[in-house]
Amino acid sequence: MASPQVLYEVADRVGIITLNRPEALNALSGTMREEILQALQRAEQDPAVGCVMLTGAGRAFCAGGDIAAMAEGQRQNDTTTVKARLLIAARVIQQMRGMKKVVIAAINGAAVGGGMNLALACDIRWGSDTARFAQSFVKIGLMPDWAGIYFLPRLVGTSRAMELMITGETITAEEALRLGIISRIIPQATLHEEVLNLARRLAVGPVATLAHIKRGVYLGETGTLEEALEYEQQGQLEIFLSADAREGMRAFLEKRPPVFGREQ
């Protein structure tokens, strides 16, 4: 019996989603897009999950689309399947950005094409020292998808994003860190555990507050100053009298770690 192509488990309030085609560098094939979406929706709806971690099995994060499957579609002059997969990819991206829970990428190796852009959709990205990144679409005559044209220019600037996309060049973890594509480089041997430790910390944090921060940061990227100020005021008033805010302030005054998420 074949192994599932996307694994989902919950450990210590963390929903762990693992792309599971290591023999193909976790290239997106078959129903993997739908399975990623289902795992994200499951994590969002589960009150026992406070944070989500996304990673790949084996030595790669995700090598992008399955080129052999795409070539077969070309031979049959079929764009129907391509359109369906693009629509599912869009739903995955919208789910990741729209859900209240933080999604952390543990980029354990190559993140190429759609795999790179899937990582860019995560809220926090830590990469291993073996991670490599490429907007490789142009090398097979295609343009970036999975919202790469939205995310990458915002992270690295228009000129560098253009260069990466029109050349398809591969960059190292060190260059990705310098550009802001990832925020930390972790040794490959400890990446999974270190990202999981971060996810555990967030999973027991003030859930509503983290959700407001996530939404506010993305509003700040695209909205006006006035919209950001209005959102800050609205959000702060919503959480000021919450059980978590009361616990946080009480713990500060009592000089002890807060315990969030319990009934007050």
Would you give per-residue pLDDT tens digits along the chain (264 residues)? 457 999 999 999 999 999 999 999 999 998 999 999 999 999 999 999 999 999 999 999 999 988 888 888 888 888 888 899 999 999 999 999 999 999 999 999 999 999 999 999 999 999 999 999 999 999 999 999 999 999 999 999 999 999 999 999 999 999 999 999 999 999 999 999 999 999 999 999 999 999 999 999 999 988 999 999 999 999 999 999 999 999 999 999 999 999 998 643
The span from the CA of 11 to the CA of 135, in Å, is 33
Q: What is the dihedral of CA 136, 68, 53, 92, to 10 degrees?
A: 90
Q: Give residue limits of the domains in the chain.
A: 6-203, 207-253
The CA-CA-CA angle for residues 261, 98, 122, to 5°, reads 90
Phi, psi torsion values for 35, nearest 5 degrees: -70, -35
Report H helices in 47-181. 67-75, 80-98, 114-120, 148-156, 158-167, 173-179
Q: Check if the beta carbon of residue 126 is closer than 8 Å to that of residue 106.
A: yes
CATH superfamily of 6-203: 2-enoyl-CoA Hydratase; Chain A, domain 1 (3.90.226.10)
Q: Which of 143, 109, 123, 93 is nearest to 18 (CA)?
A: 109
Q: Check if the beta carbon of residue 54 is closer than 8 Å to that of residue 92.
A: no
Per-residue tokens: 234: 């609205």
